[in-house]
Amino acid sequence: MGSSASDFLGKTVNSAVITIPTNFSDRQKEALVKATKDAGIEVLQLIHEPIAALLAYDARPESSISDKTVVVADFGGTRSDVSVVASRGGMYTILATAHDYEYAGCHLDQVIMDHFAKEFIKWNTTDPRKEVRSLAKLKLEAEACKKALSIGTNASFSVESLAEGIDFASTINRLRYETIARKVFDGFTRLVEGVIKKADLDVLDVDEVILSGGTSHTPKIASNFRSIFPATTTIFAPSTTPTAINPSELQARGAALQANLIQEYESEDIEQSTHPA
């Protein structure tokens, strides 16, 4: 990663700000810092992922610093992390967090895989999920199909020699996809509601919702949130806000902004300013 950044910029990158999950232990932090130093890069600071995502939005020229309560929902490929963050005078405090492995992008892939596998079985009797090579092909095309449905209302599913040399092609529309994946989408919503409750707050207390992570490109997630939060709550997601930052780049952008802010500071000053109040 250091080499890629150096090649892109045309100059050597020798320090970095790194984002970490809110439930990282001290041992994990130490291992990460050691690995980074072994790669020849100095760690300026470790910042929590939801803080980096929030910073990316607050650092925009059109943003104004105000006291607010923000939900940062990070939906990744294999797990989901949700945090409630209080912003007071430009200082961020994490009020509650939740980490979930039951509802993530891979579970949406699984729904599409199961849907087309059943369709294949209907015509050919063979289950493509039972053979390693067939399963890999099914998984790859299911993910591509999911991404296509985040952009358009229809997606084609086509795999050459899916199982026993049989080619398979079909289509699915977004409405059908959202229906068969309803359990997963409801899981995302319950996860967010649970974290707000954990922070002793109500959905009416939330000023902003920031969707982060690759799975946040899915329009249904944002539309479900729109239905549970009041109209006064701003939801930052590609499908609801045209000016939303790409959820896949959000944390990296926040880390880069933080690095730009603190690169001239002494390490002691950085350490002192990041202790929890």
Beta bridge partners of 209: 71, 235
pLDDT for the residue 127: 93
pLDDT for the residue 122: 92
At residue 211, the 3 state secondary structure works out as strand
pLDDT for the residue 277: 43
pLDDT for the residue 263: 77
DSSP 77-130: SS-EEEEEEEEETTEEEEEEEEEESSSSHHHHHHHHHHHHHHHHHHHH---GGG
Instruction: Please tell me the pTM assigned to this model.
Output: 0.89
Average pLDDT, the chain: 92
Structure-token match 């649970």, residue found: 194
- How confident is the chain (277 residues) per 10-residue block, as mean pLDDT? 91 92 94 94 93 93 88 94 93 94 95 96 91 94 95 94 92 96 96 96 96 94 95 93 92 92 72 54
pLDDT for the residue 2: 87
